[in-house]
Amino acid sequence: MSKRWKPNVTVAAIIEQDGRFLLVEEETPDGLRLNNPAGHLDYGESLPDACVRETVEETAYDFTPTSLLGVYLSRPASNECSAEGDITYMRFAFCGELGAFHPERRLDDGIVRTVWMTADEIRASTARHRSPVVLQCMEDYWKGTRYPLSLIHQF
């Protein structure tokens, strides 16, 4: 019997305030990397709810998704020598409104700090991005791509 394959479903938040964007600096096997606030969908969660949860866990900011930015399928180049085999990510990226900051909150394990960056700084730091999906999400945001949350149905 062959093993059933399935992608890892993740969510990400694209958050802008005063022309700067909220990213996280996180520890990875490849060193410190920049990423959008992002994480895995938990059992029973809706995609927008997962994005709200992951954003507060990684940044200590509340977040309200208002639009689906896009759906991104990626396979890290490291898959070729991965002991776990094929790892594929299906990222659902959202943009929305930044909420309250909770300075008392401890950030998720592996998150070193949050950083606010301009579009030029993000584009200039691609060598430090967790994956190419980080910049692709940002470029789609800057192009004005937006889809209504009603596009997502959960049963």
Quick: pLDDT tens for 126-154. 999 999 999 999 999 999 999 999 999 99
Strands 16-17 and 61-74: unpaired
Length of the chain: 155
CB-CB contact of 76 with 131 (8 Å): yes
Rank 38-42, 72-76, 77-81 by mean pLDDT and report only the highest.
38-42
User: Pick the residue with more confidence: 87 or 42?
Assistant: 42
Q: Give 21-71 as a DSSP string.
A: EEEEEEEETTEEEEE-SEEEPPTT--HHHHHHHHHHHHHSEEEEEEEEEEE
Each residue of 18-44: pLDDT tens digit? 999 999 999 999 999 999 999 999 999
